[in-house]
Structure 1
């Protein structure tokens, strides 16, 4: 039996609808891991962090997706540097830079994937609407074919009835064809979205592999450097104990930094800087001279005077600037620094060369690090979850000093995201007075 034009179109559209149903399960139908439910609780001061031990390194290795051959090669590479602090320092700074670049790429890929999901949902919405419209038209045609109404009962001699039928079919067929073309276009769009998503996912996996490898590299390097300075003098041990005691007595950051700075200028140790006053006539360095100075990874004191480093400091972490210097801090005062909303477990590096005046928990700031960067300048980092440097240690700009957690630690900032995102608070001081950090950074803070 011959199939009429209406039936042919119905079969074609039915085929298209089946094809669209098969193509729909893409990004938006990927099952997402539910976010943990946050409960309101007083901010807890985390326990004192420790430098990675052998057991810690083994745990990190077990959690990584790197193959054993790559892990063994990385260990051999680091073992070859044993005792060579200059090479270890250079490797740490280079690894930290690779982590920062990978973190930026991961954030960009995740944003592009988010855009693809939005596009996919938009196309799926149009297809769902087309399904309903086409189903209604097909249902009407089916009813007509089973129970034709009187105007469509065509007598061979009834020219008027034949004309009415032709007009009805000619009105329906173009609409169905247009719908079929729209469905075909949307199905192609879904295929393009899936192709783009697969490419982005491959890029994301590659960057996560970089992050995993550099995480292990940094932890292993820190452990190796730690082994080289395990023998600490009684004087350094006493210095650390005194710093902790000062932190327990201080009621504000200003008081803590003042006490620590005063102690640094009055107590001379093998690893502490002198408290030389800031030179009002800071020598001028060319960009090339500054690059050469910072390239010396064997240095054990700041490469250049801190005041001369303006415009060259390393941003401690990748993130979005959510609080500027001098704006309301959300607790009735003004912010003495800036706050960055970072990724979970983001790496934190030293913003400048300096000696660690203090590291550890302080009031409701979470884990903090205070660096004496020389010439009566200090740099404060607050809100970390782990710290991998020691009091009295000299750190070079760009060297890893710790990591963020999975959420805000302590009441360091109030943002629209609440405590769901980790937030790093950064503060610069001169003579224990807050300094606007704007213009001090080598690269501008990422903005949202």
Structure 2
């Protein structure tokens, strides 16, 4: 009975382990994505539209690094689970190995002796013939689990080089993207900003409401009409950055302050894009909101993005959907920091916040009437 309990316990343990997905394969696939991003970076040098090519490259790096982080987290969890199970079943495993060793090393005459005589010997031989293949099968499965633990440990040890290359690559891609956007001359313009009028408007307003209502004053001349209607995008626009919804419109923050916009948690240095074709009405520091980009996708509708560290483009430019308009702040994580996050999954890697406000006419509206927030970016 004791042997049967051991046998069934080990079989259940191994079966449950195999029912899970393969975290090692997930981490390997993430490594391939980073390698593909490196290839895309080299090819972007000769692309006709370098901004578009580099945008794709930066996003590929971001997704590859996120996948690598997730893969390492799963690998660490899997390795920990297997280690705990191995330690918890040390006695049963020792019994299993002991029985197998006895079967392999006992001389035939000893195996044939039984206190009940020839009939007992025959019965024990039949039982042994039935049990031995099962024990050997479980031993093979146990060996496989032990090998998996070793593979996961080696995978985590070797991840440092892949991460180092990925972090270096995305840094280069972001720098190249900033330069390509600064050199861009092919975008249409609806107006040219007057820096003096902009400075006067900023100094004379104390709220976002007041600044937004006075945006027409920053142009040196008339602002050409924009005959565009994006109302059909309501409720389906993609968020401008990969992130997690922290606070909805009207929800109070830790200080009890309620704002009409939503707040997203993002990873450091994440790329922020225009969610639709839009005119850049303003970009730069504003009030207590940090660096701000104000986009106008259609007349009398503004999308305000605040909390960026770097902002791209020039006021008056009409940018296509998906055009980078800035980068989030924070320091790019070190390899050690990423590896230390591999075991928790608490979201502590999303240390930056982007505030999004949508204004129709002179009033803010709930951004979730425009943006899809039901998915983790």
User: TM-score, normalised on structure 1?
Assistant: 0.53
C-alpha distance in 1 between matches for 2:287 and 2:238: 26
Task: Go from structure 1 to structure 2 and tell me whether the alpha carbon gap of 1:395 and 1:117 turns closer, same or farther (over 3 Å shift).
Answer: same
Task: Go from structure 1 to structure 2 and tell me whether the alpha carbon gap of 1:109 and 1:197 turns closer, same or farther (over 3 Å shift).
Answer: farther
Q: Which residue does the alignment assign to 2:285?
A: 361
Query: In structure 2, which of residues 295, 299, 313 is the aligned counterpart of residue 371 of structure 1?
Result: 295
Q: Which residue does the alignment assign to 2:364?
A: 434
Q: Which residue does the alignment assign to 2:147?
A: 191
Query: In structure 1, which of residues 263, 280, 288 is the aligned counterpart of residue 217 of structure 2?
Result: 263
Query: In structure 2, which of residues 231, 234, 245 is the aligned counterpart of residue 307 of structure 1?
Result: 231
C-alpha distance in 1 between matches for 2:65 and 2:296: 33
Q: Which residue does the alignment assign to 1:402?
A: 326
SS in 1 for 2:359: strand
Maintained 8 Å contact 1:134/1:179? no
Q: Which residue does the alignment assign to 2:119?
A: none
Alignment of 1:245-394 (within 5 A): 245-259=200-214, 261-263=215-217, 267=219, 269=221, 273-274=223-224, 304-311=228-235, 313-394=237-318
- TM-superposed deviation, 1:426: 1.1
Determine whether 1:123 maps to 2:77.
no
Query: In structure 2, which of residues 196, 202, 210 is the aligned counterpart of residue 241 of structure 1?
Result: 196
Alignment of 1:138-217 (within 5 A): 185-192=141-148, 194=151, 198=155, 211=170, 214-215=173-174, 217=176
Maintained 8 Å contact 2:358/2:365? yes
- TM-superposed deviation, 1:181: 7.6
Task: Go from structure 1 to structure 2 and tell me whether the alpha carbon gap of 1:186 and 1:402 turns closer, same or farther (over 3 Å shift).
Answer: farther
- TM-superposed deviation, 1:246: 2.5
C-alpha distance in 2 between matches for 1:445 and 1:196: 35
Task: Go from structure 1 to structure 2 and tell me whether the alpha carbon gap of 1:179 and 1:354 turns closer, same or farther (over 3 Å shift).
Answer: same
Task: Go from structure 1 to structure 2 and tell me whether the alpha carbon gap of 1:187 and 1:403 turns closer, same or farther (over 3 Å shift).
Answer: farther
- TM-superposed deviation, 1:216: 5.1
Q: Which residue does the alignment assign to 2:376?
A: 447
Maintained 8 Å contact 1:243/1:357? no
- TM-superposed deviation, 1:400: 0.6
- TM-superposed deviation, 1:368: 1.3
C-alpha distance in 2 between matches for 1:346 and 1:257: 26
Determine whether 1:422 maps to 2:376.
no
Task: Go from structure 1 to structure 2 and tell me whether the alpha carbon gap of 1:390 and 1:197 turns closer, same or farther (over 3 Å shift).
Answer: farther
C-alpha distance in 2 between matches for 1:180 and 1:418: 45
- TM-superposed deviation, 1:319: 1.3
Q: Which residue does the alignment assign to 1:10?
A: none
Alpha-carbon RMSD across the aligned residues, in angstroms, is 5.2
Q: Alpha-carbon deviations, 1:25-50, whole Å to 9, x = none?
A: x99xxxxxxxxxxxxxxxxxxxxxxx
SS in 2 for 1:185: helix
Maintained 8 Å contact 1:240/1:391? no
Task: Go from structure 1 to structure 2 and tell me whether the alpha carbon gap of 1:252 and 1:197 turns closer, same or farther (over 3 Å shift).
Answer: farther
Task: Go from structure 1 to structure 2 and tell me whether the alpha carbon gap of 1:70 and 1:376 turns closer, same or farther (over 3 Å shift).
Answer: closer
C-alpha distance in 1 between matches for 2:146 and 2:228: 56
Task: Go from structure 1 to structure 2 and tell me whether the alpha carbon gap of 1:355 and 1:310 turns closer, same or farther (over 3 Å shift).
Answer: same
Task: Go from structure 1 to structure 2 and tell me whether the alpha carbon gap of 1:362 and 1:373 turns closer, same or farther (over 3 Å shift).
Answer: same
Structure 2 gaps of 5+ residues are: 1-22, 25-36, 98-114, 116-132, 332-345
SS in 2 for 1:385: strand
C-alpha distance in 1 between matches for 2:143 and 2:208: 59
User: TM-score, normalised on structure 2?
Assistant: 0.61
Maintained 8 Å contact 2:41/2:54? no
Maintained 8 Å contact 1:96/1:349? no
Structure 1 gaps of 5+ residues are: 1-25, 28-64, 82-87, 139-158, 160-176, 277-301, 408-415
Q: Which residue does the alignment assign to 1:411?
A: none
C-alpha distance in 2 between matches for 1:328 and 1:397: 31
Q: Which residue does the alignment assign to 1:114?
A: 73
- TM-superposed deviation, 1:249: 3.8
C-alpha distance in 2 between matches for 1:321 and 1:112: 23
C-alpha distance in 1 between matches for 2:349 and 2:212: 27
Count of residues paired in the alignment: 310
Q: Alpha-carbon deviations, 1:78-130, whole Å to 9, x = none?
A: 5xx5xxxxxx4xx5245434544553454344323312211110111122344
